Chain A
Amino acid sequence: GIQVEQSPPDLILQEGANSTLRCNFSDSVNNLQWFHQNPWGQLINLFYIPSGTKQNGRLSATTVATERYSLLYISSSQTTDSGVYFCAVESSGGSNYKLTFGKGTLLTVNP
C-alpha cells in the first residue's frame, strides 16, 4: 500500500518563529489532508489539498502531486499551535477512500 513519511518527527520552536512540516508519499493520490491533533485527541481539519496551494490565516499548505510531497507552513507560531500534525492521503489506486496517515510531527511552541 501507499507509504507516508512525515518530517521532522519532533520540532521545538519559540513563540513567533516560522516552521515547515513535510509529507512525502509513495504513490499518486486522490486526496491529501493535513490535521492538527489536540491534546484531547480530536483531529482538526486544516487543509484538504490534493494539489496546489491554500492559505488559512497563519497556516498555508502546498502539494506538488507530480513530485509526491506536501508542505505545511506555520508562521508566527503560538503556544496554541502545539500538538501533533498529521498528513493523510487517499491512494488513487484504492477503491475504498480510506486515508493512510503518516506518523506525525510533534510540534512544541514555547512561550
Chain B
Amino acid sequence: DTGVSQDPRHKITKRGQNVTFRCDPISEHNRLYWYRQTLGQGPEFLTYFQNEAQLEKSRLLSDRFSAERPKGSFSTLEIQRTEQGDSAMYLCASSLNRGVGEQYFGPGTRLTVT
C-alpha cells in the first residue's frame, strides 16, 4: 500500500510566477485535504475534497489559490502571481470516507518565493 505522494518536493520560484503542485492520495481514500505549514507553526487547513467535490475552503485560500480534483483521484493546487508570503510547506493528506477518519500525510512540497 503506497502512501500519499506529492510532486514536486521542492519548488523555488520568482515573485509573480504561477506554480502548481500535485497530490496523489492513497488509492482507496476519497477524502483529500490540503494544508499549509509555515516555519515554527503547525499545519493549517486550506481546503477539502470528498471525491471530486470541493466542500470547504479556508479563508487562508485567497483568490490567487485554486484547487481541483478531477475524477476524484489526484489533486492539484495552483498559486497564481506568487508572493513572498506564500513561501511555506504545502501538505496533502487523505482519509477514508467511512469508519476511522485517520488522516495520512504526504511528504509535502516546500515552496520558496524569491
Chain A residues packing against B (C-beta within 8 Å): 4, 30-31, 33, 35, 40-43, 45, 48, 86, 88, 90, 95-104
Contacts and interface: CB of A to CB of B under 8 A. Distances in A.
B33 A98 contact: yes
Contacts of B107: 40-42
B85 interface: no
Contacts of A45: 102, 104-105
B103 A33 contact: yes
For this complex, into which size category does the number of interface residues on chain B fall?
20 to 34
Interface in B40-88: 40-45, 48, 55-56
Nearest to B89: A41
Given A41-B110, A96-B55, A101 B103 contact: no
Nearest to A104: B42
Contact of A43 (B40, B55, B91): B91
28 contacts: A4-B42, A30-B101, A31-B101, A31-B103, A33-B103, A35-B105, A41-B37, A41-B108, A41-B110, A42-B105, A45-B105, A48-B102, A88-B42, A88-B43, A96-B48, A96-B55, A96-B56, A97-B31, A97-B48, A97-B101, A98-B33, A98-B45, A98-B56, A99-B45, A99-B93, A100-B45, A103-B40, A103-B42
